[in-house]
DNA sequence: ATATATGCAAAGGATTTGCACGGTT
DNA sequence: AACCGTGCAAATCCTTTGCATATAT
């Protein structure tokens, strides 16, 4: 169970009440490097906080997504996954997804020049389709180290 | 109902039997520019071919994905969507996704230089993570023309 | 004190599975 | 004829909703 309400201040203006489940879920996501599903979050929290309900996890995740504190990811495995969102602007990273075992690896290895080109692409899209780009998502699919061997 | 088995030849080696539902589903996907869900495909086909079952649609879509003839897409709206895969190599396109109305726009506006850089990035990933990139996916999220107005 | 958050149980949707029948080879 | 593909119904899995209770402010 997390200590005092470490994340409370980031909630000003988004929500009225800062509660223990909300703190616990955000704290967990801020610590892990995994891309956890609602069920996984629930299971992890349940061991230290048996009172928690799966419904609350879902509702809290929704809330956190809407207030921009976490990202919702869908890799097509039938459930949504969530990741903590660093406060830094433009702190984009990519995901490497192993199509064999489902492992997801974070990486932030795009070069500055690539990011600039991406920005340029966004400008083109804005003009051509009159579409305002707010965010982007880049994923690489393939085989991870382990799965290549077997 | 599609005519003769137009797509049969592309199935050599993947499957033993080429049947009407398989033909109809692949044909539909090859014609539409939409990103249809299983239910939508089922509903569309049902009007011309009332015998078809939703299960067959799901199973056929699986088959077509596995044999590389279509792509499975997940935009996080709770259902998978499917798109025909052109035969051409490196024929990658991107998706613009409106976060308000859910509209999905196809575009292929990445420049050659961008694609080259992407390839370079893939090489970096291969070396750093020992991850073999087989495919990639780029999405842009934002507001479409209509939704900007309202 | 009062409005909001929570937990439980039930409902809702998408997708998968078991099984007998029908169609392709 | 043999085997694969299909449709139906039931089962699963993830997620959302209704409602009475508990809790933060």
pLDDT higher at B22 or B4: B22
User: Tens of pLDDT along chain A (150 residues)?
Assistant: 334 678 887 776 666 789 999 999 999 999 999 999 999 999 999 998 889 999 999 999 999 999 989 999 999 899 999 999 987 655 678 899 998 888 999 988 766 777 777 888 888 889 999 999 988 888 999 999 999 888
In chain B, where are the structural domains located?
A: 1-86, 92-150
How many angstroms separate the CA atoms of B53 and B28, rounded?
16
Q: Measured between beta carbons, which residues in chain A are less than 8 angstroms from residue B141?
A: 133-137
pLDDT digits (tens, 9 = 90+) for A64-83: 999 989 999 999 899 999 99
SS3 A73: strand
The most distant pair of C-alpha atoms in chain A lies apart, rounded to whole Å, by 53
DSSP A49: -
From first CA to last CA, the distance across chain A in angstroms is 40
Q: Is the CB of A18 under 7 A from strand D?
A: yes
Q: Summarize the confidence of residues B25-35 as an average pLDDT.
A: 94
**Which candidate in A62, A72, A94, A132 is best for mutational testing of the B interface (most B CBs within 10 A)?**
A132
Q: Measured between beta carbons, which residues in chain B are less than 8 angstroms from residue A128?
A: 107, 109
In this complex, which of B114, B124, B148 lies closest to A121 when CB atoms are compared?
B114
Q: Using CB atoms within 10 A of its CB, is residue A45 exposed (0-12), middle (13-18) or buried (19+)?
A: buried
CATH number (1.10.1740.10, 3.40.50.300, 3.90.1720.10, 1.10.10.10) of B1-86 reads: 1.10.10.10
Q: Summarize the confidence of residues B9-19 as an average pLDDT.
A: 74
Q: Measured between beta carbons, which residues in chain B are less than 8 angstroms from residue A118?
A: 114
pLDDT digits (tens, 9 = 90+) for B56-100: 999 999 999 998 899 999 998 999 999 999 876 556 788 999 988
* E strand or H helix that includes residue A37: strand A36-37
What's the pTM? 0.88
Orientation angle between helical segments A38-48 and A54-66, nearest 10 degrees:
120
Q: Is the CB of A99 under 7 A from strand D?
A: no
Q: What is the pLDDT of residue A79?
A: 95
- Domain B1-86 identical in fold to domain B92-150: no
Tell me which fold the domain A92-150 belongs to: Dna Ligase; domain 1 (3.30.1490)
DSSP string across B55-80: HHHHHHHHHHHHTTSEEEE--SSSS-
Q: Which of residues 49-68 of B touch A (CB under 8 A)?
A: none
The most distant pair of C-alpha atoms in chain B lies apart, rounded to whole Å, by 53
Determine how β-strand B94-98 pairs with β-strand B132-143.
parallel
Tell whether B150 lies on the interface with A, counting CB pairs under 8 A: no
């Amino acid at each position: 169970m997390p200590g005092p309400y470490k994340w409370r201040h980031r909630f000003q203006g988004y929500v009225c009440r800062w509660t223990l489940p909300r703190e616990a879920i955000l704290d967990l996501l801020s610590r892990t490097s995994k891309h956890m599903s609602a069920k996984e979050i629930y299971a992890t929290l349940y061991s230290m906080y048996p009172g928690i309900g799966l419904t609350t996890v879902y509702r809290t995740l929704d809330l956190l997504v809407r207030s921009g504190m976490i990202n919702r990811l869908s890799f097509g495995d039938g459930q949504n996954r969530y990741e903590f969102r660093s406060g830094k602007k433009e702190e984009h990273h990519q995901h490497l997804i192993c199509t064999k075992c489902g492992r997801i690896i974070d990486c932030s290895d795009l070069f500055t020049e690539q990011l600039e080109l991406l920005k340029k692409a966004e400008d083109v899209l804005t003009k051509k389709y009159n579409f305002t780009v707010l965010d982007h998502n880049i994923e690489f699919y393939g085989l991870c180290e382990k799965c290549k061997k077997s």
